[in-house]
Amino acid sequence: MHSELTCIACPMGCRLQIEETENGYIIEGHTCPKGKKYALQELEDPRRMVTSTVRVENGFLALVPVKTAEPIPKNLIFDVMTQINSVVVEAPVFLGDVIVRDVAGTGIDIVATRDMPKNI
């Protein structure tokens, strides 16, 4: 198997060429060590950070921005979003508050990325 990826581990955006062999992968085209690590992660266990919003009752605004505390398996993004979309929190919310524990059984939490004071 031969494939290509654009590395996003640093701002260089290297074009990686990947060849699968009996002994693993041959990865070429990276200009820094992060490229090889990125390619292996992307091939073996692709993960993504998920950012979204959660509804807030009695908040200064109706939504509070949230994100996964760590990257989650890429194939679980829709499950994570389904769970996030079902959540409603009560104001006040503070930066770093855990909004959903162990989202979609990943062991990773959804956290608030800003304060949301109570509407006065």
List pLDDT tens digits, range 56-93: 999 999 999 999 999 999 999 999 999 999 999 999 99
Shared-domain flag, residues 56 and 34: no
* pTM as predicted: 0.83
Shared-domain flag, residues 64 and 19: no
Name the domain boundary from 44, 61, 76: 44
Q: What is the CATH number of the domain that holds 98?
A: 3.10.530.10
Total number of domains constituting the chain:
2
Domain coverage including residue 77: 51-112
**49-55 — which CB contacts under 8 Å span 24+ positions?**
50/77, 50/80, 50/81, 50/84, 51/113, 52/81, 52/84, 52/85, 54/84, 54/87, 54/88, 54/89, 54/99, 54/110, 54/112, 55/87, 55/88, 55/89
